[in-house]
Chains A and B, each alone.
Chain A
Amino acid sequence: MTVIAWILEATWPACVDATRRHAPPDADIVLLHVTDPDIAQVAHGAYAGLLGRGQPRRDPGIQVQDFAAATAHKLLQDAAARLARRCTTVQRTGRVETEVIAAADGAELIVLARDGDCSHLGPHSLSHASHYIVDHAPCPVLMVWPGTPPSISTQRPPPPHPPHPPPPPPR
């Protein structure tokens, strides 16, 4: 059985703990990190806007790219140490949600932590990427809170009922 744990900045410890708790002892655990190249691209774009001031070797996009790779590596190392179980680490680059789904091909479980506004019970406790993953996952999904879940009293009241649709026209 393959279990994919999606390692994401800030919320990863909860994801690792849940994986340790719920993955069967013989499971092949994959710690997955996806780097979004858009962030470095934003820095590239801002530099290009200078129209050539400063030398190309100072392009901050290149530095950000290098930092991002090093950060991902360190994050996966820390996650593996916290998991304290046999696992493999996978580093991917690309559109985050589609990369996670692609990595989950053939897996039997995806574990992820809520990565939105976790100060109250929904809405918006999931980012766009998490929404996409839950929606498209080819296997069961285990979703955990990154910390202590908010109390049930933080739930927002449901929106008012929409007005009744008009009656169908007589035949």
Chain B
Amino acid sequence: MFVAASLVTAVFSLDATVVLLTPVVFATAARLGVRARPHMYACTHLSNTGSLLLPVSNLTNLLALSASGLSFVRFAGLMALPWTLAIATEYLVFRRFFTGDLHTTAAAAPMAAESAPPPWFAIATVAVTLAGFIGASAAGLNPAWAAAAGALVLTVRAALRKRTTLGTIISAADVPFLLFVLALGVVVRAVIDNGLDAALGRWIPHTTGLTELVTLAAIAAALANVINNLPAVLVLLPLTVAAGPGAVLAVLIGVNIGPNLTYTGSLATMLWRRIIHQHDHTAGLAEFTLLGVLTAPAALIVAVVALWASLHALGG
């Protein structure tokens, strides 16, 4: 489960893990007759921690990619070790935290699953798109072109097979969200130019030694919990980009792993929840927060040390 969630997040982005994998994991656990709780928590944690690897794994990475000056391949190369070790840290803590739940094996025979052939065309398109990211990176092209080509192939096929409509395609592009991110960027820029840079600048280290990278990641994680990780990365990028790609990657480790610390990831998210849904139940925050406190700081430090080692081994 850990490997599946980490790979789905890395390749398809955290959105895919949250929206698509989470219900599948719950249904699978139920079908196998095992307790869903550890697997559900793992899904939400890995949608964050697993999103360190590729620029396409998380929107924060995409926002930072061009500012970092790194190519697609170099980004992945520097983040491979932090990604692996952060996930390993999560795994060790989860094994210990959920010992009881994981020890109870299914007593009843698993229910039969309805099987469908794997969607080979979609899998192949994704594989070619990933190869396209590497190719585009080598040719100096923006990886967005490879992504657009992959999306176009899948859309045209779905349209030809009458599995989608123009309305669905337009709504899948989620134009309001694109405008939201653009507006967020403009607002954050205005706030930075009007004094936030001076206020935050005092706390931001300008070198990339191990201590400075850990400090930077910790600030980023804290900020991600206060104002959500998208605005956090937009605030911190202009302040750290001068220190080089190592600093930008440390910020990404902070904003990507940080949301595991608190249940909703941020205050802003809580407000957002109130807008999109009127749930009558508030989750017991204690267990999620305890798990966050046990995993997030440990994974963060391990990932930053791994980043520091990668920067030294591969050259920052």
Contact = CB atoms under 8 A, between A and B. Distances in A.
B147 to A, nearest CB: 15
Interface string A41-62: 1111111111111111011100
Nearest to B231: A51
Nearest to A118: B103
Q: Which of B19, B20, B282 has the most CB of A within 10 A?
A: B19
B22 A48 contact: no
B19 A54 contact: yes
Nearest to A64: B26
B208 interface: no
Contacts of B283: 37-38, 41-42, 44-45
B167 interface: no
B276 A48 contact: yes
Given A39-B36, A95-B284, A67 B23 contact: yes
A158 B165 CA distance: 68
Nearest to B27: A67
A105 interface: no
A43 B22 contact: yes
B18 interface: yes
A39 to B, nearest CB: 5
Q: Which of B43, B111, B177, B283 has the most CB of A within 10 A?
A: B283
Contacts of A56: 276-277
Interface residues of A, number: 47
Given A38-B284, A115-B100, A10 B33 contact: yes
Contacts of B74: none
A11 interface: yes
B255 to A, nearest CB: 12
Interface in A44-100: 44-56, 58-60, 63-64, 67-68, 71, 74, 78, 95
Contacts of A147: 107
A122 to B, nearest CB: 12
B26 A124 contact: no
Q: Which of B107, B228, B264, B288 has the most CB of A within 10 A?
A: B107
A118 B281 CA distance: 32
A138 interface: no
A23 to B, nearest CB: 20
B161 interface: no
Interface string B243-279: 0000000000000000100011110111011001101
B230 interface: yes
A117 B100 contact: yes
Contacts of A74: 111
B22 A60 contact: yes
A12 interface: yes
B1 to A, nearest CB: 15
Contacts of A64: 22-23, 26, 40
B272 A52 contact: yes
A155 interface: no
B103 A51 contact: no
B193 interface: no
A84 to B, nearest CB: 15
A26 interface: no
10 contacts: A45-B263, A45-B283, A46-B18, A48-B264, A48-B277, A49-B228, A59-B276, A60-B22, A71-B30, A118-B103
4 smallest CB-CB distances across A and B, nearest first, come from: A41-B283, A116-B100, A63-B23, A71-B30
Interface of A: 9-14, 36-39, 41-56, 58-60, 63-64, 67-68, 71, 74, 78, 95, 115-119, 124-125, 127, 146-147
Given A43-B43, A68-B26, 11 more contacts: A9-B35, A41-B279, A44-B279, A47-B18, A49-B266, A52-B276, A55-B171, A67-B30, A74-B111, A124-B99, A147-B107
